[in-house]
Amino acid sequence: MQNNEYIGLIGTLLGAIVGAFGSYFGTMKSLDKQMERENFIKVEQDKENKEIVMRIITKFLKEEIVDNKIIIEKEELYKHLTQGFGTQYGYNFRTKIKFDSYESVKFYLIKYSDEKMVEDIIDLYGLFYILVRYTDINQLDEGEYNKLIDLKCKINRLTDIFP
């Protein structure tokens, strides 16, 4: 073989190697872009699914919270709470206040909602649980009484932010 043939062979081999590397890196870059695009689409779909789940959860909760609010207002609880700690006023919310929707969605709520909303909802239902625990305002300790003073505001704040 002559030098020209060696140079041609070396050139061919180098061209093949460079072409292979170029093809490999081009394919990898294309795959990376495709994976980024698919990840972006997945994140957007997850975000949309989370929003749908939260809208459904909040609709159920809002209905239950509004029902509980109506029950509390019919019993005129707020009027008696404003009379001060130790006021005697008998009531019976044990069979009236509802927790069914809250109990069925609370784990999804924790999974799909932001921390602030979860905390507000848990606090509100904690107040509902205080109401069903007793049958008279004067049975509340001062801490529970002070928490119940904010009941109306908490209900209104939550029902205003729900769809």
Report pLDDT digits (tens) over 119-141: 999 999 999 999 999 888 888 88
Domain regions of the chain by residue span? 44-161
Contact 58, 120 (CB under 8 A): no
- Residue 90, beta-bridge partner list: 136
Ramachandran angles phi, psi of 13, nearest 5°: -65, -45
Contact 126, 66 (CB under 8 A): no
pLDDT digits (tens, 9 = 90+) for 16-49: 787 777 787 778 788 788 888 888 888 788 788 8
**pLDDT value at 85 more than 70:** yes
Contact 153, 69 (CB under 8 A): no
Query: What does the chain come to in residues?
Result: 163
pTM value is 0.72
Can you give the pLDDT at residue 1? Answer: 56
Can you give the pLDDT at residue 113? Answer: 80
